[in-house]
Chains A and B, each alone.
Chain A
Amino acid sequence: MFIFLLSFPPGKTRLAKWYMQFDDDEKQKLIEEVHAVVTVRDAKHTNFVEFRNFKIIYRRYAGLYFCICVDVTDNNLAYLEAIHNFVEVLNEYFHNVCELDLVFNFYKVYTVVDEMFLAGEIRETSQTKVLKQLLMLQSLE
């Protein structure tokens, strides 16, 4: 995985994780391009789209797009479900997550991402384990 993006139309990026070196201009350009590629797609389309030398696996939840940019040989469905697994964790953690939770607690969302994905790889897939860890961290001062 190279990039992990979470954004609302029109292009407001809520969270971006970069697992490859890009400079700031390139990052901005990538965000815009990913957004342009993904948002024009219809709900009946696949959740995968080729992008530069990569492919984007994405899923839309209400107005929120979760996009993961992976190598073309990576497993599409595994990453698609990794997104859903992540969303289920957010939902549990924030008790019916909504956009505002993610805006006001942006710094916690980073922690959730790091618990589940690290160095562009899947780190932990068990929702029970991730939530247990998050609650433990929550209890710390």
Chain B
Amino acid sequence: MPAVSKGDGMRGLAVFISDIRNCKSKEAEVKRINKELANIRSKFKGDKALDGYSKKKYVCKLLFIFLLGHDIDFGHMEAVNLLSSNKYTEKQIGYLFISVLVNSNSELIRLINNAIKNDLASRNPTFMNLALHCIANVGSREMAEAFASDIPRILVAGDTMDSVKQSAALCLLRLNRTSPDLVPMGEWTARVVHLLNDQHLGVVTAATSLITTLAQKSPDDFKTSVSLAVARLSRIVTSASIDLQDYTYYFVAAPWLSVKLLRLLQCYPPPEDASLRSRLTECLETILNKAQEPPKSKKVQHSNAKNAVLFEAIALIIHHDSEPNLLVRACNQLGQFLQHRETNLRYLALESMCTLASSEFSHEAVKTHIETVISALKTERDVSVRQRAVDLLYAMCDRSNSKQIVAEMLSYLETADYSIREEIVLKVAILAEKYAVDYTWYVDTILNLIRIAGDYVSEEVWYRVIQIVINRDDVQGYAAKTVFEALQAPACHENLVKVGGYILGEFGNLIAGDPRSSPLVQFNLLHSKFHLCSVPTRALLLSAYIKFINLFPEVKGTIQDVLRSDSQLRNADVELQQRAVEYLRLSCIASTDILATVLEEMPPFPERESSILAKLKKKKGSSKLPDMDDSRKNVNGNTEHAEDAEVASKTPQFLLEELISTDRPHPSSSATMLPTRTMVPSHTFTDNLNVNSAPSSGASLLVDVFSDFSSAAPTESSDEHFPRFVCKNNGVIYENQLLQIGLKSEYRQNLGRMYVFYGNKTSTQFQSFSTSVSSNDVLCSQLNVQEKPVDPLIEAGAQVQQILNIECVSDFSDTPVLNIQFRYGGTLQNIAVKLPVMLNKFFQPTEMMSQDFFQRWKQLGAPQQEVQKIFKAKNQMDTDVTKAKLLGFGVALLDGVDPNPANFVGAGIIHTKTTQVGCLLRLEPNAQAQMYRLTLRTSKESVSQRLCELLSEQF
């Protein structure tokens, strides 16, 4: 077909598209497409060389066919040919085809890269941009290999056009995301940072994105961007709306750039420089002030743009979490939005307030909005808004309002959308447990949950109520009475039968004195539910029955009759049959004493962090529930743990001795109270007497559920690199044939941020990549580690980054563990790595004069404040290395304090959220003996101990 028109209007293409649109059926469309494909194929194969225009037209048709959802298996070569055309329109179609239909056909890649190379070198900005956009769109490793070093050069070259700079910046960003290892960092970083000063705001916009991405990975290298970003932001927010002309959007000056700058600043802690800090505070105040000004336009675009900046400013204020005044102002502003007529704003205000609730400065201010939030729960039409309201209620909950919030959530649950019921159930269960002062309230709440939303009450929730009732003898009688009453309802949820069966089996005796709940009445009540229940519940009930035989000898006959009936002894289900047979036999031949031993009340469960919390986190993705659970403990003074300790000390100890070494007794997977698999007939009965010891089947769900991570045995664990991180913050912490894990960390006062880089060393994608940080119970209350989400896929050879936010609440000596799980090929890989977060990371060095040092040294003279260790040198004794290690450890080295110049003296302050601990140390090397003497004095014994332990391993 000859060219019908000049320019890029392709008439043939338009005709073809019209034909397709006019097709009445799918078949007709396929027919028309096949005809066209045959035509194009013959043209491409024909003897006559096609001119550029025809090639462009046919390639464009192929692209259209592909976009309709049909496979295209030819035309790639013609598209590549178009790349070397010197006409823009032909080149553009060629690049578009390549970008949309990339495949890693190696021959073509070489040709494509060659064309790109030529265009990059062409000095024609239009062609350069086409090439850069193609690299940015494809982002393949081959392209990264070919161009990663050229692009920074183009970006910072003085004579590069603005629009090319914009593309180059973002192109580099894409390559950094897909193949970070190939993008060289170095001399150009400083010049990239200076793009923030560029006159062209489009260049600044693109550069800010690039710098933000790079700063997230290596904050130190881009530290200088903070002052430039603040300066730029300040100029934008104080400008009159006409100043920025092209970049003013509905009377708002450069809203997107402002948002990006504010996000860049969120990569860093508040500036330390006082004048910079106050300039930033001024900016944030100006943004907050503008929110109060009357709108310059009634258009929603105006308010959206303005509020986009406002919300980002609030995010920065929350991130810094250091200016109470700004936090409270932010909270008040969001409070206004809670009642705004725009649904979007109400939603965002609820979401943003959720994070404000976790700051101790604004927690109280957030709480004042409780009534508005509750009314949102009742009146909002959009389920996602109601969901945010639930989140916020959860986040603002503390001891003072927990009863009200739990009650509101329960009442909302009756009408809540199915999609969010399970989550609400989990939240109610967590709050009820956390803020239970009196555990009768807790029991009532959980039973209400089961009544209202039984189907959404997961195993974790009802396991937990049983665990708590067993561990707290003050609530057992009440629980028995309450479940007994709840079971009276003609229709009750099976979960209630489970809880009821378990609790009455353990504690039914506590209410048996009342003739209305005599043993027989209890038994008949439970048994009336039996036939309506599923097999696992029936199994649990059978266990309750055998427990009844022990508790109440008077109903033994009745129960034996039930067990003896054909429906039990010959039950088609092997588990039920076995239980019936064994329990019946046990009740017949065992003496009362033996029965009493075998069927003894369950011993208390070890106190662990609630698994419900873990489940909720998992359900929501860790990002959604930031640190509210952990930080709340701080706000409210962490009383839960004290109570737990009290319980533990009250519980009888006699069982613990022998049981701790084996697994603790837990209901097994079928939720029985008794292990059944161990009671196989071949065993003599005495072997099985100790039924309270662990089921050998190991299928104990509660163990799995409650031990969180400790019971999952990672296939590989490593801490070989761990000691090296005591005195340094960056490096490779773990490496095997598949995976390399690198760390970069920064600490400021009691806060830290760790960037974890996971590098896939293989040529196969890692799938289902997930991580979790686990800490033991003690550590949980001392150190908060919050994980940001991590990409579930890691491409071959690629690296992904995860951020961990760390908060030191009080001094600690344990180590959190990073658990990594992913699928490589067909197999699931588990790796556990000790995270090098040690107490000394929260050091702030303190310089002091000799006199001050000795004065403080004397003040810390109590015997428990000093810890001393004498140890042999493991490495060569080198003064400079030692100095570097001590500085890396975090203390300031004080010269001229110790009369012996060979000795080292250091001072620093450990920052924790609750306290600050001053530390002094002295290290005396003895070169002759190859020994060191290390002395630490701090105001806290545990801190002295831990620091001495950590440091003494370093020399």
A and B together in one complex: yes
Taking beta carbons and an 8 Å cutoff, which residues of A are in contact with B?
A: 13, 17, 19, 21, 28, 41-42, 44-50, 53, 72-73, 75-78, 80-82, 84-85, 103-104, 106-107, 110-111, 114, 118-129, 133, 136-137, 140-141
User: Contact check: which of B126, B301, B381 meets A137 at CB < 8 Å?
Assistant: B126
Contacts of B311 in A (CB 8 A): 75-77
Q: CB-nearest residue of chain A relative to B201?
A: A126
B205 touches A81 (CB 8 A): no
B255 touches A78 (CB 8 A): yes
Q: How far is the CA of A128 from the CA of B202 in the complex (A)?
A: 12
User: Contact check: which of B21, B249, B382 meets A85 at CB < 8 Å?
Assistant: B249
Q: Assess A81 versus B301: contact at CB under 8 Å? Given A125-B249, A140-B126.
A: yes
A122 touches B21 (CB 8 A): no
A76 touches B348 (CB 8 A): yes
Interface residue ranges of B154-201 to A (CB < 8 Å): 163, 166-167, 170-171, 173-174, 177-178, 201
Main secondary structure of the interface of A (DSSP, over half): mixed
Question: Shortest Cβ distance from B358 into chain A, in angstroms?
Answer: 15
Question: Total number of A-B contacts with CB less than 8 angstroms?
Answer: 160
The answer, yes or no, to whether B940 is at the interface (CB within 8 Å) is no
B126 touches A126 (CB 8 A): no
B624 touches A72 (CB 8 A): yes
Contacts of B305 in A (CB 8 A): 77, 81
Q: CB-nearest residue of chain B relative to A118?
A: B170
Q: Assess A126 versus B133: contact at CB under 8 Å? Given A121-B170, A141-B7.
A: no
Contacts of A120 in B (CB 8 A): 174
Contacts of A121 in B (CB 8 A): 170, 173, 206, 209
Question: Shortest Cβ distance from B220 into chain A, in angstroms?
Answer: 22
User: Contact check: which of B64, B382, B624 meets A44 at CB < 8 Å?
Assistant: B382
User: Contact check: which of A48, A50, A129 meets B202 at CB < 8 Å?
Assistant: A129
Q: A42-B381, A82-B256 are in contact. List 9 more A-B contacts (CB 8 A).
A: A13-B67, A48-B347, A72-B624, A110-B96, A118-B206, A119-B136, A119-B170, A121-B170, A122-B205
The answer, yes or no, to whether B789 is at the interface (CB within 8 Å) is yes
Question: Shortest Cβ distance from B267 into chain A, in angstroms?
Answer: 12
Contacts of B96 in A (CB 8 A): 107, 110
Contact pattern, B 592-627, Cβ under 8 Å of A = 1, otherwise 0 = 000000000000000000000000000001011000
Per CB-CB distance, the 9 closest pairs between chain A and chain B, nearest first, are A77-B308, A119-B174, A126-B246, A140-B88, A78-B308, A121-B209, A118-B170, A45-B382, A119-B170
The answer, yes or no, to whether B448 is at the interface (CB within 8 Å) is no
Interface residue ranges of B76-128 to A (CB < 8 Å): 87-89, 92-93, 96, 99, 126
Contacts of A44 in B (CB 8 A): 343, 381-382
Q: CB-nearest residue of chain B relative to A49?
A: B384
The answer, yes or no, to whether B680 is at the interface (CB within 8 Å) is no
Contacts of A119 in B (CB 8 A): 136-137, 139, 170-171, 173-174, 177, 209
The answer, yes or no, to whether B561 is at the interface (CB within 8 Å) is no
Q: CB-nearest residue of chain B relative to A136?
A: B126
Q: CB-nearest residue of chain B relative to A16?
A: B67
Contacts of B562 in A (CB 8 A): none
B170 touches A45 (CB 8 A): no
Q: How far is the CA of A7 from the CA of B348 in the complex (A)?
A: 26
Question: Shortest Cβ distance from B175 into chain A, in angstroms?
Answer: 9
A75 touches B263 (CB 8 A): yes
B255 touches A21 (CB 8 A): no
Q: CB-nearest residue of chain A relative to B260?
A: A122
Q: How far is the CA of A128 from the CA of B245 in the complex (A)?
A: 9
Taking beta carbons and an 8 Å cutoff, which residues of B are in contact with A?
A: 6-8, 13-14, 17, 21, 60, 63-64, 67, 69, 87-89, 92-93, 96, 99, 126, 133, 136-137, 139, 163, 166-167, 170-171, 173-174, 177-178, 201-202, 205-206, 209, 245-247, 249, 254-257, 259-260, 263, 301, 304-305, 307-308, 311-312, 315, 343-344, 347-348, 381-382, 384-385, 621, 623-624, 789, 792-793, 795
User: Contact check: which of B205, B343, B384 meets A124 at CB < 8 Å?
Assistant: B205
Q: How far is the CA of A133 from the CA of B126 in the complex (A)?
A: 10
Instruction: Report 5 cross-chain contacts, Cβ distance below 8 Å, ordered by A residue.
Output: A46-B343, A78-B259, A80-B308, A119-B177, A126-B201
B17 touches A125 (CB 8 A): no
B304 touches A125 (CB 8 A): no
Contacts of B382 in A (CB 8 A): 41-42, 44-46
Q: Assess A73 versus B623: contact at CB under 8 Å? Given A118-B136, A129-B246.
A: yes
Q: How far is the CA of A106 from the CA of B60 in the complex (A)?
A: 10
Question: Shortest Cβ distance from A41 into chain B, in angstroms?
Answer: 8
A81 touches B304 (CB 8 A): yes
User: Contact check: which of B7, B163, B205 meets A133 at CB < 8 Å?
Assistant: B163
A77 touches B344 (CB 8 A): yes
Question: Shortest Cβ distance from B426 into chain A, in angstroms?
Answer: 17
B381 touches A77 (CB 8 A): no
Contacts of A48 in B (CB 8 A): 344, 347, 384
B343 touches A141 (CB 8 A): no
A126 touches B247 (CB 8 A): yes
Q: CB-nearest residue of chain A relative to B305?
A: A81
A46 touches B88 (CB 8 A): no
B344 touches A46 (CB 8 A): yes
Q: How far is the CA of A136 from the CA of B92 in the complex (A)?
A: 14
Contacts of A128 in B (CB 8 A): 245-246
Contacts of A122 in B (CB 8 A): 205, 209, 256, 260
A80 touches B8 (CB 8 A): no
Question: Shortest Cβ distance from A73 into chain B, in angstroms?
Answer: 7
Contacts of A106 in B (CB 8 A): 64, 67
Most A CB within 10 A of own CB, among B170, B171, B301: B170
A47 touches B89 (CB 8 A): no
Q: CB-nearest residue of chain B relative to A13?
A: B67
B344 touches A80 (CB 8 A): yes
Q: How far is the CA of A32 from the CA of B624 in the complex (A)?
A: 25
B206 touches A107 (CB 8 A): no
Q: How far is the CA of A17 from the CA of B67 in the complex (A)?
A: 12
A118 touches B171 (CB 8 A): yes
B205 touches A125 (CB 8 A): yes
Q: CB-nearest residue of chain B relative to A120?
A: B174
User: Contact check: which of B133, B249, B255, B304 meets A114 at CB < 8 Å?
Assistant: B133
